[in-house]
Amino acid sequence: MNVEEFRKYGKEVIDYICEYGTNIEERDVAPTLDPGYLKKLLPADAPQSPESFKDVLEDFERKIMPGVVHWNHPKFFAYFPSGNSFPSVLGDMLSSAIGSIGFSWASCPAAAELETIVMNWYAKALGLPKAFVSDAPGSTGGGALQGSASECVLVSLITARARAISELKGQTSVHDSVFLPSLIAYASREAHSSVEKATKMALVKLRIIDADERGRMRVDLLRQAIQNDVNAGLTPFFVVATVGTTGGCAFDDITEIGKVCRQVSSIWLHVDGAYAGNSFILPEMRVFSAGLEYADSFNTNPNKLLLTNFDASALWVRDVMTLKSALNVNPLYLRHEHLNGVDYRHYGIPLSRRFRALKLWFVFRTYGVKGLQEYIRNHMALAKKFEMLVRKDERFEVRNDVHLGLVCFRMRTGDEPNHMLLAQINHSGKMHMTPAKFNGRYVIRFCVTYEHATEKDILDAWSQIKSMAEEILRDHQLEISSAPTTPEGTERTSSEPVAPVAGKPPIKKKLTRTKSLRFSFTRSISREQYQSQSEHLMDGCTPILVVDPKALQENFQQAAADNERNNNNTNNNGSSNKNGSAGATKLKDISDVDTDEASN
């Protein structure tokens, strides 16, 4: 393609994008196709001879577009938002056009320097502790853009693992892998499955901690689990707290978790705020970022809630040297003479890096912090509106605390009618939502995602949801439970008989259960595994340990008694264990830890 053709088709593509965005509501939000649809439409081999770009564009509209789920559609309420905006698209276009591979300062100075500047803008806009801002006086921290939150979690875990192994190893020449069996990480049942994946890849154990009825990690159980593991000779090295869980957008109490982590020097506290971390751009949401001063690392995805298109995920650490030393490799062919230029290849997994900072810079400049705040506040107001509509209808209930854009709701029936409702919603092609299990209940996740979402979108969606629900209730002659909306609200399981409504004849209508029914948005730590009763679950490489609160309590009491006895013996022998080796560490009560111990 020559430059004139590029100019011509480039303009056509921009026109196409404008048209697409303007008239997106004329398209179904999601296709109802079966896998393999595209194979039937495209040849099995690449063309030998060049084809005209016009033909390619036409095929794009006729063959590709019908298989697209429109994540930026006003009726897309699934998952979390896929951040997107025109400024971001334009920034990304320039990044693609430049096509630089910025692994080191020397390989693209502008990419390296803009990334540092934008990450500091971003950190300050979110009100993050100064320790994460690389240009703050005395800071040893900083941030880098990664491809995904999963990568951020993995990079943090690998760094924590390297630090813990280095401490255990001391000056010995023992191979690092010798220490792997003793390392143990912790995350809540509601944490994202990327934590489980990261521990699998890093060959370390993961202990899953139960969550309370609002989906927040039980800090008392975390504390007990760590204590038990320390007593058992394990090395707790990584704890993940989540701000904005995938299933119900619950916010873990970072302060309380941080206080526990501070008591064991080998623990690295990572805070995953993939979606909701961005909301800290609003001062009123910073009640949930309290405690971040305890964190060693924090991630949030501008490609979820900051109008920046995929891929862009921000990771900050309070000690860049620890991160770099965990990932540093320095072959001759990558070295350069500008030693004070930042080489972002040491901040993550890939060598090659796209110029991602450009799109984020475009977004910050064209919206301003105020514009981004307005956008998030609009999502919050609309989610509240939807919540209010659901709560006003006694046939439904809302299961989560609605703080941001996510509302988890269900009919006050058993799970099966709710499966049917979601199937109807998604099969209609007119709205798109996903399921989750929140606090042990099947819920339908309704997430406000569209950049320009309005109250009308919410009202329209609610009216359609209601009429679909009415149809299901009528056709299946279901009664609604009058139980209040409580975490333990009555639930009828699908195996229980449903009581027919008196006086109404059954209406025979076949409900199409689409394939999407089988799909479940269980992106948190494997719930199937969690729900299993067994205590040790093999995940294919190392045991995942599930906390049984009762057994844990008993173990804890036993371990505390043993510990007490050991301490007495140690004191009587006049020796002390200064390096804090596992058996001798005793965690203080959380209330014993002074907040001042947490520095910025």
The reply to whether omega before 59 is within 30° of 0 (cis) is no
Reduced to 3 states, what is the DSSP secondary structure of residue 441?
strand
Closest to 423 (Cα-Cα) out of 30, 160, 56, 37? 30
Strand pairing report for 183-188 and 205-209: parallel
Query: Which tokens is 435 given?
Result: 């399921």
Taking residues 237 to 276 in sequence order and writing x for each that binds ligand PLP by CB under 6 A, - otherwise, the string is: -----x-xxx-------------------------x-xx-
214 vs 430 by CB, closer to ligand PLP: 214
84 vs 413 by CB, closer to ligand PLP: 84
Segment 313-352, which members bind ligand PLP (CB under 6 A)? 313
100 vs 148 by CB, closer to ligand PLP: 148
Taking residues 275 to 304 in sequence order and writing x for each that binds ligand PLP by CB under 6 A, - otherwise, the string is: x-------------------------x---
Residue 176 and residue 162: Cα distance in Å, rounded? Answer: 9
| Element spanning 157, H or E | helix 149-169
Question: Smallest gap, in angstroms, from Cβ of residue 232 to ligand PLP?
Answer: 29
Question: Smallest gap, in angstroms, from Cβ of residue 181 to ligand PLP?
Answer: 27
Segment 502-541, which members bind ligand PLP (CB under 6 A)? 523
Question: Smallest gap, in angstroms, from Cβ of residue 125 to ligand PLP?
Answer: 20
Question: Smallest gap, in angstroms, from Cβ of residue 170 to ligand PLP?
Answer: 34
159 vs 313 by CB, closer to ligand PLP: 313
116 vs 434 by CB, closer to ligand PLP: 434
Question: Smallest gap, in angstroms, from Cβ of residue 320 to ligand PLP?
Answer: 22
Per the rule left: phi > 0, alpha: psi between -120 and 50, beta: everything else, 544 is: beta
Question: Smallest gap, in angstroms, from Cβ of residue 591 to ligand PLP?
Answer: 29
91 vs 247 by CB, closer to ligand PLP: 247
Q: How many residues bind ligand PLP (CB under 6 A)?
A: 16
Reduced to 3 states, what is the DSSP secondary structure of residue 382?
helix
Residue 493 class from Cβ within 10 Å (0-12 exposed, 13-18 middle, 19+ buried)? Answer: exposed
Taking residues 127 to 166 in sequence order and writing x for each that binds ligand PLP by CB under 6 A, - otherwise, the string is: ---------------------xxx----------------
Question: Smallest gap, in angstroms, from Cβ of residue 266 to ligand PLP?
Answer: 24
Half-sphere exposure of 312 (CA within 13 A, CB side): 30
Whether 369 contacts 124, CB under 8 Å = no
Whether 180 contacts 205, CB under 8 Å = no
197 vs 427 by CB, closer to ligand PLP: 197
Question: Smallest gap, in angstroms, from Cβ of residue 301 to ligand PLP?
Answer: 5
240 vs 264 by CB, closer to ligand PLP: 240
Rounded to whole angstroms, what are the CA distances from 322 to 116, 175, 344? 18, 19, 14
Query: Following CA atoms 298, 304, 307, 308 in sequence, which dihedral angle do they give, to the nearest 10 degrees?
Result: 70
Rounded to whole angstroms, what are the CA distances from 270 to 107, 242, 298, 318, 525? 30, 8, 6, 11, 16
Reduced to 3 states, what is the DSSP secondary structure of residue 398?
strand
298 has which bridge partners?
271, 316
Question: Is 400 an interacting residue with respect to ligand PLP (CB under 6 A)?
Answer: no
Rounded to whole angstroms, what are the CA distances from 594 to 154, 259, 264? 30, 8, 15
Question: Smallest gap, in angstroms, from Cβ of residue 214 to ligand PLP?
Answer: 16
149 vs 217 by CB, closer to ligand PLP: 149
Residue 248 and residue 444: Cα distance in Å, rounded? Answer: 10
What is the secondary structure of 318-345 as a DSSP string?
S-HHHHHHHH----GGG--S-TTS--GG
Question: Smallest gap, in angstroms, from Cβ of residue 325 to ligand PLP?
Answer: 25
Question: Smallest gap, in angstroms, from Cβ of residue 160 to ligand PLP?
Answer: 17
Segment 166-205, which members bind ligand PLP (CB under 6 A)? 192, 194
Strand pairing report for 396-398 and 406-411: antiparallel
235 vs 246 by CB, closer to ligand PLP: 246
224 vs 313 by CB, closer to ligand PLP: 313
Binding site for ligand PLP (CB under 6 A): 80, 148-150, 192, 194, 242, 244-246, 272, 274-275, 301, 313, 523
